[in-house]
């Protein structure tokens, strides 16, 4: 459409030029005719020529401005990178490591590196990154895309969701904040996404892919923490990408990437932007986030057809409760764990307990789905209604959500 508009303007300019030439020729011919009575017609034609000249010049100015604007508004990934790469930083520091040797433990400082990006809260700029990038790290610095580096301090951390917020001692002109989407439905499976970061120390690298799935649960390999409600995507991610932004086609942050997942080559994972938006105020003002929900289910498994056959259940989806934490919210509400073991396809399960099939009316098909729903929708102190299959009968059990220990 834009190209058609530009072509139309060029055609109009050509018509105006042709009209100018024609009128100029007629004016010259009449003026040269030597008849005094033609003077009024000459004046009229000269006025029309001046009017067309002014219109032609205005159109030329519009075309020049449109051309300049088009050059500045690059399309697709190229435009995103040109506009947003200055918002992404490299996070560096040193961690104390101890290794065993023939002569005993040897302690040394090891360089660590990750990525981060600029956001704002209450009018002040901060850098968001992964907690595992800065946990136990000293002498932290952030390096901007222009090569300038500045010291930074940890403002707040949440190990459970692998989030950290830094405050960098940099001039205001270095900060170019990104927009972080706050809705849990901000990203959809199949959506095009882009990751910018410093994989393997290669600062300012960009990759792209699509959202493969949402609501995943992963285990962060450096800390062993289980993280719910994670985005899975197909863009290439490597060590050093951790903490960089995952962007949509509008340049909005839909997640923060993490590469600290064992055997995840070829897969990318990102903590959703809604988690960042939810936790940022607390991380900045209190240094932590303590509102993660907790049901007190110690062990659980995804129901399958094979498990249903082994337990005599006609439900092939949901969460099989294997054990509950004594005195926890689930135990207090009357949720029952398994009482006997059975081996199905080489895996041992504790069966005979309740099977959770819904929460507040939303169907639950897996432990990932239950964890993601709770993280997004529940807070400590709230009561949720669990739909369960207990000894073959459908029941509703109300549980007051606790706080993650």
R_g of the chain computed on alpha carbons: 32
Buried/exposed code over 186-196 (b: 16+ C-beta within 10 A; e: otherwise):
bbeeeeebbbb
At 302, is the secondary structure helix, strand, or coil?
Answer: strand
Distance CA 380, CA 218 (A): 22
Is residue 132 part of the annotated active site? The answer reads yes
Distance CA 260, CA 322 (A): 28
Q: Which residues pair with 125 in a beta bridge?
A: 120
DSSP state of 259: -
Residue 282: CB atoms within 10 Å = 16
Is residue 263 part of the annotated active site? The answer reads no
The residue from 162, 229, 354, 368 that is catalytic is 162
Contact (Cβ atoms closer than 8 angstroms) between residue 337 and residue 325 = no
The residue from 87, 115, 198, 242 that is catalytic is 242
Burial class (CB in 10 A: 0-12, 13-18, 19+), 404: middle
Q: Tell me which H or E stretch contains 55.
A: helix 39-72
Q: Of 106, 85, 107, 112, nearest to 96 (Cα)?
A: 107
Cα of 40 vs its chain's centroid, Å: 71
The residue from 115, 132, 205, 366 that is catalytic is 132
Q: What are phi and psi of 68, to 5 degrees?
A: -65, -45
Residue 202: CB atoms within 10 Å = 12
DSSP state of 180: B
Is residue 149 part of the annotated active site? The answer reads no
Please identify every residue annotated as catalytic: 132, 162, 242
């Amino acid at each position: 459409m834009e190209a058609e508009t530009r072509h139309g303007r060029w055609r109009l300019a050509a018509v105006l030029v042709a009209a100018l030439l024609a009128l100029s020729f007629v004016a010259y011919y009449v003026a040269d005719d030597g008849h005094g009575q033609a003077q009024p017609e000459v004046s009229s034609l000269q006025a029309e020529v001046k009017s067309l000249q002014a219109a032609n010049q205005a159109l030329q100015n519009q075309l020049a401005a449109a051309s300049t604007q088009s050059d500045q508004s690059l399309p697709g990934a190229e435009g995103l990178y040109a506009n947003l790469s200055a918002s992404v930083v490299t996070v560096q520091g040193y961690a104390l490591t101890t290794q065993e040797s023939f002569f005993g433990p040897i302690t040394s400082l090891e360089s660590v590196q990750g990525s981060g990006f600029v956001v704002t809260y209450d009018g002040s700029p901060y850098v968001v990154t992964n907690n595992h990038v800065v946990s136990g790290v000293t002498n932290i610095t952030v390096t901007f895309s222009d090569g300038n580096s500045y010291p930074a301090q940890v403002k707040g951390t949440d190990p459970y969701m692998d989030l950290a917020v830094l405050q960098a001692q940099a001039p205001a002109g270095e900060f170019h904040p990104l927009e972080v989407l706050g809705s849990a439905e901000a990203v959809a499976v199949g959506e095009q996404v882009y990751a910018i970061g410093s994989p393997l120390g290669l600062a300012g690298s960009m990759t792209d892919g699509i959202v493969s799935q949402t609501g995943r649960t992963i285990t962060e390999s450096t800390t062993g923490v289980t993280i719910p409600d994670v985005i899975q995507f197909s863009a290439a991610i490597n060590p050093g990408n951790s903490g960089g932004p995952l962007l949509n086609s509008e340049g909005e942050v839909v997640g923060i990437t993490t590469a600290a997942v064992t055997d995840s080559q070829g897969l990318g994972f990102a903590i959703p932007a809604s988690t960042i938006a939810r936790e940022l105020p607390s991380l900045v003002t209190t240094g932590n986030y303590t509102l993660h929900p907790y049901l007190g289910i110690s062990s659980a498994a995804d129901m399958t057809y094979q498990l249903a056959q082994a337990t005599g259940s006609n439900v092939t989806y949901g969460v099989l409760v294997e054990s509950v934490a004594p005195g926890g919210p689930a135990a207090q509400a009357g949720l029952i764990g398994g009482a006997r073991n059975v081996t199905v396809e080489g895996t041992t399960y504790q069966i005979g307990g309740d099977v959770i099939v819904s929460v507040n009316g939303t169907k639950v098909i897996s432990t990932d789905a239950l964890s993601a729903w709770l993280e997004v929708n529940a807070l400590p102190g709230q009561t949720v209604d669990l739909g369960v299959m207990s000894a073959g009968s459908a029941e509703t059990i109300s549980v007051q959500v606790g706080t993650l220990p």
